[in-house]
Structure 1
Amino acid sequence: MFSVIQFVLFRSLILRIAFNQKLPYMGPISVGMRPGMALYFQGLVLQEAKQFEINLKTGQSGGDDTAFQFKPCFGQKVTLNSFSSKSWQIEESASDKPFTKGAAFTMIFVIKAEGFEVYVNGLQLCMFKHRLPLEKVTALMISGDVSMNIFGVIPVSIVLIFL
C-alpha cells in the first residue's frame, strides 16, 4: 500500500509526462521498459462509463502484440490479458472493483521481474505475470470511457525507494 505522501512524491518525479491527451491515445514508451520502473496514471472515470483499457504494446499498429491489457468493465470485473501471434491469450481477472463512475483515480503499474503489479488509489489490485519479453514493449495505448489527466514513466531509482 502506498501513502498519500508517496503518491505526491511519485507524481513530482515522473519522467516523460503527458497531460490531458485526447483519447484514444497511442504513443511510444521511448525510455523502454525494465524491472523496477513504473507507469503512473491519474484520471477520471466518465459518469456513463462502460469500460476503458490501457495496453502495453510491442508497436503502434493495431496488429502488434500486447504484453499487458488492463481493462476495467463496469458492472463486471477488471480483465487482464495479452495478445500475441494474432490471438488473445487466456484472460485473467481481478476480483476487486476499484473504480467508481464519475470518480477520480490514481494508478501505478510497477514493473517487476515476474510481472506487472497494479496499484489503484494506493491499494494493490493485482499482479499480471509477463507473457511477452518486457524489452519488446515500446508503446502505450489508452482508450475508452476515461479522461486521463496525467500519465508518465517513473524511473527505476525512484520506484525502488518505495517498494
Structure 2
Amino acid sequence: MGDCKGGLIARRTIIIKGYIPPTAKSFVINFKVGSSGDVALHINPRVTEGAVVRNSFLNGSWGSEERKVPYNPFGPGQFFDLSVRCGADRFKVYANGQHLFDFSHSLSAFQRVDLVEIHGDVTLSYFQI
C-alpha cells in the first residue's frame, strides 16, 4: 500500500512493476480515497479468466464493469510494467509500454485519491508514486 501525498493530480503517473506467480488466480490495484473508502479506479487482473476488470466503487456501490482490452499482459509466470497516468478526465493505463485502456473518472474529485492498495497473487518489484 502506498500513500499518495497531496492526492492524485492531472499528469501524475504511478508506476507499478511486478511478477505474477505461475499459480496466480487474481490480484487487485485500487486507487482509493482513504477517508471514505471510495475507489476511483479498481484494476483486477483475473489471471485464470484471462480478463482485466476495471471498475469504481463510490458511495458504497460498484459502478459498471469494463473488461475489454486489446491484449492481456497479466499471464501466469509473467513480469509486467504498469504505468497509470491520471488525466483531467480519465486514467490512461499502459502495460509494458503499450496502451492498455482508458478509464473515465467517475469520481469527479479524483484529487482526493490518497492511497494505492495492491493485494492478491502478485509480487511487486517496483512501485513509484
TM-score, normalised relative to structure 1: 0.73
State the Cα distance separating 1:90 from its structure 2 match. 0.9
1:93 equivalent in structure 2: 67
* Alignment deviations for residues 54-90 of structure 1 (CA, whole Å, 9 cap, x no partner): 0000007xx7110100111112310000001111111
Q: SS at the partner of 1:93?
A: coil
Q: Distance in 1 between matches of 2:89 and 2:115?
A: 20
State the Cα distance separating 1:27 from its structure 2 match. 3.4
Work out whether residues 50 and 75 of structure 2, in 8 Å CA contact, stay in contact via their aligned partners in 1: no
Which runs of 4 or more aligned residues in structure 1 lie more than 4 Å from their structure 2 counterparts after TM superposition? none
RMSD: 1.4
Mapping for residues 102-121 of structure 1, pairs under 5 Å: 102-121=77-96
**1:27 and 2:2 equivalent?**
yes
Q: SS at the partner of 2:8?
A: coil
| Structure 2 runs not aligned, ≥5 long | none
One-letter amino acid of the counterpart of residue 83, structure 2: I
Q: Percent identical across equivalent pairs?
A: 33
1:138 equivalent in structure 2: 114
TM-score, normalised relative to structure 2: 0.91
Mapping for residues 62-81 of structure 1, pairs under 5 Å: 64-74=37-47, 75-81=49-55
Q: SS at the partner of 1:59?
A: coil
Q: Distance in 2 between matches of 1:59 and 1:94?
A: 28
Q: SS at the partner of 2:24?
A: coil
1:7 equivalent in structure 2: none
Bigger proportion of residues as helix: 1
